[in-house]
Amino acid sequence: MKNNIKNILIVFVLLGMVPIYAGGNDSYKDLSLENFTEGWFDDWEHNHYSKSQAPFVHLFHLEPAFLDRDLFLDYKINNGQEEKEIEYEFELEWALTSRIGLVLEGPYRILEEQGEDRVRGFGDLGLATRFLLLRDSDSMLSLNVGMEFPTGSKSKGLSEDELVVNTSFSYWQSFGKKVTWNAQLGMEQGLETEEKTITYGTALTYSLNSAVTHDHTGNAHNHQGVHFPQGMTNFMLEYSGRNS
């Protein structure tokens, strides 16, 4: 595993080709240390905005602190001096309660090395649980605990060939209704090799045309409340890295 693999990613994501709906945040309540035992088995609150009306924007390299029910399809490409890697990955996030959610990830990888035949196939499958620890109108903190299972082919170089445990904390902070900051710090450890890797990342998001709207014209959903408006545009600056 390479040391000090760092990525700076500036992405412009246009939302609005298809409307994305969210439930209202009338039931949105603060989760503090004082009521830490509450909400663990309450129904999930379908919110795409915080109480202060800052949008919850999903990132590419960082796990979010919030819970949702979404399916994401990602495309990644890494060009090295001697190898090239292309990865298609699905990520399913499914909130179970207002504090607990599941995350399932599965990559399809294509490896190209100089002088070698192209290799392709499914990589290791990841499964994690996200626990929402703290939340107020402008911030939230979550704990992610997961595992990567060696389901990929070792002979093709598509698998770590061991069970890897991932643990990380994710933090989300809003600055008004347009700017949000995300941070993540965690550790990965292989159970057989006991190799430890520190992972970290931070991101800033600026949202345009993100004003809350209650217009449900043409909305086939039965829930009431707010949703992302058509034409919402997010500018995201991400920085992530890992040290073995």
Domains of the chain with bracketed CATH: 40-46+61-206 (2.40.160)
What the block records as the tokens of 233 is 């545009």
Q: How far apart are CA 67 and CA 49, in angstroms?
A: 11
Ranges of residues in the chain whose predicted pLDDT is under 50: 1-26, 215-225
pLDDT at 156: 84
| Per-residue pLDDT reduced to its tens digit, 107-137 | 999 988 877 788 899 999 999 999 999 999 9
**pLDDT tens track for 153-187:** 888 888 888 999 999 999 999 999 999 999 999 99
Length of the chain: 244
DSSP 29-54: --B-STTTTSSTTSPPP--SB-TT--
Please answer whether residues 27 and 49 qualify as being in contact, where contact means their C-beta atoms are separated by less than 8 angstroms.
no
Note the pLDDT of residue 214.
56
Contact between 192 and 163 (Cβ < 8 Å): yes
Predicted pLDDT at 211: 79
pLDDT of residue 213: 65
Query: Based on C-alpha coordinates, what's the Rg of the chain?
Result: 19
Token digits of residue 117: 């035949």
DSSP 95-106: E-SSSEEEEEEE
Is 8:235 a contact under the CB 8 Å cutoff? no
Check: CB of residue 83 under 8 Å from CB of residue 116.
no
Matching residue, tokens 């997010």? 234
The b-or-e profile of 138-162 (16+ CB within 10 A means b, else e) is ebbbbebebebebebbeeebbbbbb
